């Protein structure tokens, strides 16, 4: 203990703070406030599901598609039979795994199936023979005449440049693992995860490609599973874990189910790039 003298000459005693007092004084302020609930940091730290594709036989024809549907019925005997009963056998919808196939997918972003087919037919007719060179040679007016939006024009030109100058080997994608093929595609400006997964699914026939950002898939899952709200892409990926290694076939079933429950409503409400 020590004695000090204040301004008015009064003696004042002071003693070292007790351990309890020091703990109270040095205690950290609460990390969370009313605006930040306690589980917020926990949610931020939670790692997202890795973009890993399970290997399996390519879905390259009606026979392999039927085998995959039967396998899914065994994996999920509750939801999958419901999808098949409402939507029927899913269509194969294979596309050539080349430049034209990827152009069709880019054209299909955020438009109905009917609109996508109409625009793609104009692209094929006006830019014949369709290839990287014809895309690069076309001016804005020629591309707009096909019905292409400015973002899609930029994406097609970025794709054409990558193919023309060797940054993207479309033919070689089939020889890569699905993860590597996906990374090669999204490295091109204007090609996002949805576009890459659709290419893996419909052009390369990968059985486990699953475009979780597709709005029609999300809505179909909400209806089929009786959810209160439409799952976002992260929630849908978690739901789809039960369908590995056939998530791509489950996506086909969900699309067919969506069209059926919407009474043939045209389009897939595509999420885009």
Residue-wise pLDDT for 41-91, tens only, equals 444 444 445 578 999 899 999 999 999 999 999 999 999 999 999 999 999
Query: Across-strand partners of 4?
Result: 12
Which residues make up the CATH 1.10.340.30 domain(s) of the chain?
Answer: 99-203
Show the CA angle centred on residue 54, arms to residues 52 and 60, nearest 5°: 120
User: pTM for the complete prediction?
Assistant: 0.79
CATH topology of domain 99-203: Endonuclease III; domain 1 (1.10.340)
Is the bond leading into 174 cis (omega within 30 degrees of zero)?
Answer: no
Mean pLDDT of the chain: 85
CATH (one of 1.10.1760.20, 1.10.1670.40, 3.40.50.620, 1.20.1050.140) for 62-93+209-261 = 1.10.1670.40
- In the chain, where does the domain assigned CATH 1.10.1670.40 lie? 62-93+209-261
Q: pLDDT class for 124, splitting at 50, 70, 90? A: very high
The pLDDT score that the predictor gives to residue 130 is 97
Instruction: Give 113's strand partners.
Output: none
Question: How far apart (Å, rounded) are the C-alpha atoms in residues 166 and 84?
Answer: 43
Q: How many CA atoms lie within 13 A of 267 on its CB side?
A: 13
pLDDT at 17: 47
| pLDDT, tens only, 198-256 | 999 999 999 999 999 999 999 999 999 999 999 999 999 999 999 999 999 999 999 99
Angle at CA 75, nearest 5°, toward 204 and 93? 30
- Collect all residues with Cβ–Cβ distance below 8 Å to 234 and sequence separation of at least 6: 48, 49, 212
Measured at the CA of 79, the angle between CA 77 and CA 90, to 5 degrees, comes to 100
Query: Of the given ranges (11-20, 56-65, 149-158), which has the lowest mean pLDDT?
Result: 11-20
DSSP-assigned beta bridge partners for residue 12: 4
Hey, CA dihedral for 247, 253, 259, 262, is it positive or negative?
negative
């Amino acid at each position: 203990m020590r004695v000090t003298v204040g301004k008015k000459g009064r003696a004042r005693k002071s003693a070292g703070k007790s351990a309890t007092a020091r703990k109270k004084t040095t205690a950290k302020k609460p990390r969370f406030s009313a605006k930040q609930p306690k589980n917020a940091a926990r949610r931020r730290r939670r790692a997202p599901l890795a973009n890993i594709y399970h290997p399996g036989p390519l879905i390259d024809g009606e026979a392999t598609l039927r085998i995959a549907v039967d396998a899914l019925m065994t994996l999920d005997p509750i939801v999958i039979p419901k999808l098949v009963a409402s939507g029927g056998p899913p269509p194969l919808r294979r596309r050539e795994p080349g430049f034209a196939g990827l152009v069709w997918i880019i054209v299909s972003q955020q438009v109905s199936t009917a609109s996508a087919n109409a625009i793609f037919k104009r692209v094929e007719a006006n830019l014949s023979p369709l290839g990287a060179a014809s895309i690069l040679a076309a001016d804005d007016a020629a591309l707009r005449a096909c019905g292409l939006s400015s973002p899609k024009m930029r994406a097609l030109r970025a794709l054409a440049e990558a193919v023309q100058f060797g940054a993207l080997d479309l033919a070689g994608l089939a020889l890569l693992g699905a993860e590597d093929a996906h990374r090669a595609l999204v490295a091109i400006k204007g090609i996002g995860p949805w576009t890459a997964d659709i290419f893996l699914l419909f052009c390369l026939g990968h059985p486990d490609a699953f475009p979780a950002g597709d709005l029609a898939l999300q809505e179909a899952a909400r209806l089929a599973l009786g959810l209160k709200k439409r799952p976002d892409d992260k929630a849908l990926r978690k739901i789809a874990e039960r369908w590995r290694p056939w998530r791509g076939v489950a996506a086909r079933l969900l699309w067919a189910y969506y069209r059926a429950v919407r009474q043939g409503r045209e389009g897939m409400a595509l999420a885009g790039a």
